Amino acid sequence: MTDHLIVSDEGAMRVIKLRRPEKKNAITQDMYRRMSDAIDTAQNNPAIRCLIITGGSGVFTAGNDLEEFLNESTSNDDGPRASNAVKFLYSLAHNVKPVIAAVDGIAIGIGTTMLFHCDYVLASNTATFSTPFIHLGLVPEGASSLLMPRTMGHQRAFATLVMGRTMTADDALIAGFVNVVVPPGHTEGEARKVAREICHLPAEAVAISRRLLKTPPEDLTRRIDQESHLFGERMRSKEAIAAFKAFFARKRA
């Protein structure tokens, strides 16, 4: 349903808010499509100077809606990543506007990997970050295999992406992909303060400086495509099929 995502323009800020609390903000294909639209339509709009992605208080996102994701994957001969999720990742890769993430609570899977496309990340001290692809017999996505090691080093990236270990907000601060840790319930308000600060800076200088700092979009999309191909192969593997069956069996128990 479209009300699972709320997009609002507040002055020079565009706020993209995940709003599916009954499912811990698990992301559906429709939500991915609408997030892509919100990002894409901001690109040539000079009135929008900054983007904020938030899940509200208490939870950022549990990642993909796994039931819908599995149905989408098994009905698509081109593999599961030829989807609105990949379009969303492409939107992040090509985005030229500063992006701020406000993370309060869990950030699982793409909830963590999308943060490495953001420019400024605030987390509550109850936030946790995990990429448990390995536990489902899968591989990293979202260009995380490129961006994570560059941001926090091979060893931390290995523990996170390959071993599936969870990071706390303090861990993420030390690792370098969270800028500041705030009390629960304050991430969104603090994100607006940061956005206002950015919006008051010279727009062209911000855009040029950001472009110099960022990994080139073509490098990101090349890695996204590589990961997507491998992800699709893994979804059809015996390991992944068994892992998904075990996951849903535990969920029903």
Angstrom CA distances, 64 to 73, 83, 132, 189, stand at 12, 12, 12, 26
Tell me the pTM.
Answer: 0.94
Note the helical H segments in 62-166: 66-74, 84-94, 110-113, 144-152, 154-157
Q: Cα–Cα distance between 31 and 55 in angstroms, integer?
A: 12
pLDDT confidence of residue 68: 78
pLDDT confidence of residue 76: 54
Q: CA-based Rg of the chain, rounded to a whole angstrom?
A: 17
Reduced 3-state DSSP string for 170-195: HHHHHHCCCCEEECCCCHHHHHHHHH
Q: What is the pLDDT of residues 70-120, one digit of tens each?
A: 776 655 554 444 589 999 999 999 999 999 999 999 999 999 999 999 999
Q: Cα–Cα distance between 70 and 80 in angstroms, integer?
A: 8
Residue type, 59: V
**Local mean pLDDT, 10-residue blocks, the chain (253 residues):** 87 97 95 97 97 96 86 56 85 98 98 98 98 95 98 98 98 98 97 98 98 98 96 93 88 74
Scored b (16 or more CB within 10 A) or e, 130-141 reads bbbbbebbbbbb
- For the CA atoms of 184, 186, 187, 193, the dihedral, rounded to the nearest 10 degrees, stands at -160
In CATH, what number does 2-184 get?
3.90.226.10
pLDDT confidence of residue 72: 66
- For the CA atoms of 127, 121, 156, 165, the dihedral, rounded to the nearest 10 degrees, stands at 20
